[in-house]
Amino acid sequence: MSRQVKYIFVTGGVVSSLGKGIAAASIGRLLKALGYDVTIMKLDPYLNVDPGTMSPYQHGEVYVTDDGVETDLDLGHYERFIHTSMTADNNHTAGQIYETVIKRERKGDYLGKTVQVIPHITDEIKRRIRKVGDTKKYDIVFVEVGGTVGDIEGQPFLEAIRQFILDQGRENTMIVHLTLIPYLSHSGEMKTKPTQHSVMKLREIGLQPDMLLCRTDRPLENSDRDKIALFCSVSPEMVIEARNESTIYQIPLSYQKYAVGEKVSRRLGLPDRQADLSGWKKFVDKVHNPTQFIRIGICGKYTELRDSYKSIIEAFVHAGVDNDARVELKWLDSEEMTLDNAGKYFSDISGLLVPGGFGERGSEGKIAAIHYARCADVPFFGICLGLQCAVIEFARHVCGLDHANSTEFNNKTPHPVIDLMETQVNVSELGGTMRLGAWDCRLEKDSLAYRAYGKMNISERHRHRYEVNNSYVDQLQQHGMRIAGRNPASGLVEVIELPDHLWFIGVQYHPELKSRVLDTHPLFRDFVRAAIQHKENLLDKEIEAGVDENSPGR
């Protein structure tokens, strides 16, 4: 018997940034724990075709899938929480939807009809949602709608959902609405009116929520719950208190206190099952109760924009749990760092990570930070641009290639150790010109990377234009750099290491995109372990030299 797919629509009201993505991912985790196959889609009402060309100030991290699409950072939360790999079918923007419809119109596919938001845009939205359900790979498909109810550009999406629910039947669909219950300190009260209004807005379009997740910073009183239930026409047991938590990984457990998984599955007519959240609980317990502490420096350009490094930050939470450590991240501004002052930034960090990035700004600071890490034997992890800067640093200071650089930063450099591949040189259109998505890599036996992964053949996700220039590889190797991994088909460099160093790795790909709860990326795990080792080595040396372990500054 083919399975009846169930759909859960997640909408938001009152204000943005309430954490709809994490809410969807958390309920998804609970349903997974009940044994259901789950996936989550995100519908973004903005008109950009994808977030690839949007500024990090606008959009935060661009999350890349195996099949090479640049998507919203919420897809990262989905993968980390539900362990389902996302694809191009999991993220759609209004830009893509309009583009498809307009292209069809130009081809004459609409046979002379007037092309309109209803039904043509809404049909295209419904087709994209149905496509995921029709794979029959999932029991439950979540559909998160970006923005808040009432946004003009979100209207076609909500209208499409209204029609979709009619097509599929109320019993196979449900709406979870995330809302804010503000507390007014001057009157000492929680206010339910904004929630009532946002639900009113939903009902105006013909959408009746089945469950309300009420974001609050204090307990929701029963009287408020009953009031919300009454005014919003939702049963009181479906009005869920969604408190702020110190870690996002606590959220599924908090929801579970209200049996959210069971309530959702019952509402969808799915059989009652026993949830198994034991592994997740252990993980969260370790996040809360680490036995040690380690500080890692991250040297990048957007230090004030933590959303740009979302997956890296989360990968360190995962890696901390594996090492029984709390990893604190210290943000180092690459525009402040120089070869002369780098040392002072290293006094209280035990490892350096240089993340991905674009453009020349801050590149010399990153190179300076790497120089210090290399010379002082501080564990170093370079990701994408981080690898490229490590190659530039090594070429300049070890191989003696003065002014070696990436042609991204200086296209007149005498030594373009990082360069465009020939196939890229004449491409000028932004978007779609990068090496994107999963590429194979073959690791060298006995490399640090091989030891971390425990296998030779790996596949990792990419997002970059520039590459290590293979015509310099012999020189780099002669001076002691190890090419620890290459793409077998193209020969492009994927992993570099310095075997004489405690732990020094650069990767051309983005390992952070594949780190998940209870499935930490092995390079992050080993990097944190190396940082702990480095800290212990330093302590041993100081003890040997008679420095008091409890002295200030330790």
Told to check if 464 binds ligand GLN by CB under 6 A, we report yes
Q: Which is nearer to ligand GLN, 63 or 138 (CB)?
A: 63
**What are the structure tokens assigned to 77, written together?**
């939360």
Told to check if 468 binds ligand GLN by CB under 6 A, we report no
On whether the CB atoms of residues 8 and 140 are closer than 8 A, the answer is yes
Instruction: Give the helix/strand (H/E) hosting 255.
Output: helix 251-257
Told to check if 220 binds ligand GLN by CB under 6 A, we report no
Residue number closest to ligand GLN, CB atom = 356
Among 191, 197, 203, 465, contact with ligand GLN (rule: CB under 6 A): 465
**Contact track, ligand GLN, 403-422, x by CB under 6 A:** -----x--------------
Q: Which is nearer to ligand GLN, 306 or 465 (CB)?
A: 465
Shortest distance in whole angstroms from residue 384 CB to ligand GLN: 3
Among 463, 482, 486, 525, contact with ligand GLN (rule: CB under 6 A): 463
Q: Which is nearer to ligand GLN, 237 or 360 (CB)?
A: 360
Q: Which is nearer to ligand GLN, 43 or 434 (CB)?
A: 434
Report the 10 Å Cβ neighbour count for 446.
Answer: 10
On whether the CB atoms of residues 167 and 173 are closer than 8 A, the answer is no
Distance, in Å, from the CA atom of 531 to the CA atom of 515, rounded to the nearest integer, reads: 18
Shortest distance in whole angstroms from residue 307 CB to ligand GLN: 16
| 298 backbone dihedrals φ, ψ, rounded to 5° | -120, 115
Outline where 87-216 has alpha helix (H): 94-107, 122-134, 155-168, 193-204
Among 10, 384, 395, 458, contact with ligand GLN (rule: CB under 6 A): 384
> 3-class SS at 431?
coil
Q: Which is nearer to ligand GLN, 256 or 363 (CB)?
A: 363
Task: List the catalytic residues.
Answer: 384, 510, 512
**What are the structure tokens assigned to 280, written together?**
């997740």
Distance, in Å, from the CA atom of 330 to the CA atom of 296, rounded to the nearest integer, reads: 6
Amino acid making up residue 334: S
> 3-class SS at 61?
coil
Site for ligand GLN in 346-375 (CB under 6 A): 356-358
On whether the CB atoms of residues 484 and 504 are closer than 8 A, the answer is no
How does strand 38-44 pair with strand 140-145? parallel
Q: Is 245 exposed, middle or buried (0-12, 13-18, 19+ CB in 10 A)?
A: middle
Q: Which is nearer to ligand GLN, 26 or 487 (CB)?
A: 487
Shortest distance in whole angstroms from residue 357 CB to ligand GLN: 5
Among 466, 504, 509, 524, contact with ligand GLN (rule: CB under 6 A): 466
Q: What secondary structure letter does DSSP report for 117?
A: I
On whether the CB atoms of residues 522 and 452 are closer than 8 A, the answer is yes
Shortest distance in whole angstroms from residue 422 CB to ligand GLN: 15
Q: Which is nearer to ligand GLN, 463 or 486 (CB)?
A: 463
How many chain residues interact with ligand GLN (CB under 6 A)? Answer: 10
**What are the structure tokens assigned to 535, written together?**
């800290």
With CB under 6 A as the contact rule, which of the stretches 101-109, 365-373, 447-455, 462-470 interacts with ligand GLN?
462-470
Residue owning tokens 């070890």: 398
Told to check if 98 binds ligand GLN by CB under 6 A, we report no
Told to check if 159 binds ligand GLN by CB under 6 A, we report no
**Contact track, ligand GLN, 419-458, x by CB under 6 A:** ----------------------------------------
The closest alpha carbon to 269, from 170, 143, 148, 368, belongs to: 170
**Applying CB under 6 A, which residues contact ligand GLN?**
356-358, 384-385, 408, 463-466
